[in-house]
Amino acid sequence: MPQFAANLTMLFTEVAALDRPGLAAQAGFEGAEILFPYDYPAKDWEAALAGLPLVLLNTHPGDWAAGDRGFAAVPGEETRFRDGFLRAADLAARLGAGRVHVMAGVAKGPQAEQVYTDNLAWAAAQAPGLLLTIEPLNSDDMPGYFLNDFDQAGRIIDDLGLPQVGIQFDLWHAARIHGDPAAVWARHKQRVNHIQIAGFPNRNEPGGGGFDLTGLCAELDETGYQGWVAAEYRPARATVHGLAWLGALKARSRLIGA
């Protein structure tokens, strides 16, 4: 059975950020991911996450309110990207996170792709023990974001040829971009090193949308997937009151694997 992580940026927001890991562990999650854990000192996160592994964090996006969404693909921002990546890699090492999502930023065109691939190759060389993820984000939620197509991501990964770099398969974004997330999964599953799930069409609790999550878990077991399945969704009500999906998915996975 795959291991499940809670996205603590979106779940358990009923309490302060540093109190969320404890609630996630109590709810049955085996790990956590945090989009931008930069608002608190690392020592505070170390204490808060005691006993709950942090599995992924993002590179710093820059000034979100001003429209920044990372810098990996932004021409002229190479120094800013590299400084930010080293900061993320250092924090990941301190907190024990094995993956960093490298945010591409708002950019377009061949020059942006060259900058992106150069920066990814550089980042992989700087942190050889760290897995890097790239995540296509749909253009409605993230206008102008450079990486906005899973086939684009697959081509970039193949061109790089670095096992360290993989796709962050977000079920929600796959459905929004391509319409059929199952087909996207079938095309790119061999490139995936992190998975995020949510319900469709409202990005609430996982389930529905024509995607077989139980089948996915069984397939992950069969293929020996070593990554995590992260719950990244907007709870329709208090987080703890909407976790029936987690228990049901674990129970079905145990039955299938029995």
- 186-219 pLDDT, tens digit per residue, is 999 999 999 999 998 899 999 877 789 999 998 9
pLDDT at 255 over 70: no
Nearest to 95 by CA among 18, 196, 24, 11: 18
pLDDT at 254 over 70: no
Give the pLDDT score at 211. 86
Averaged confidence pLDDT in the chain: 96
Confidence of residue 176 (pLDDT cuts 50, 70, 90): very high
Q: List 99's β-bridge partners, or say none.
A: 56, 131
User: Which residues contact residue 71 at a Cβ distance below 8 angstroms, ignoring those fewer than 6 apart?
Assistant: 62, 77, 78, 80, 81, 84, 103, 105
Q: Give the tens place of pLDDT for each residue, 123-155.
A: 999 999 999 999 999 999 999 999 999 999 999
% of the chain residues with pLDDT over 90 = 89
Confidence of residue 240 (pLDDT cuts 50, 70, 90): very high
- Catalytic residues, by residue number, are 135, 232
pLDDT at 236 over 60: yes
CATH 3.40.50.720 fits 3-257, yes or no: no
Give the pLDDT score at 29. 98
User: Which residues contact residue 225 at a Cβ distance below 8 angstroms, ignoring those fewer than 6 apart?
Assistant: 2
Which pair of structure tokens corresponds to residue 174? 């796959």
Confidence of residue 257 (pLDDT cuts 50, 70, 90): low
Secondary structure (3-state) at 74: coil
User: Which residues contact residue 16 at a Cβ distance below 8 angstroms, ignoring those fewer than 6 apart?
Assistant: none
How far apart CA 59 and CA 72 sit, in angstroms, is: 9
pLDDT at 51 over 80: yes
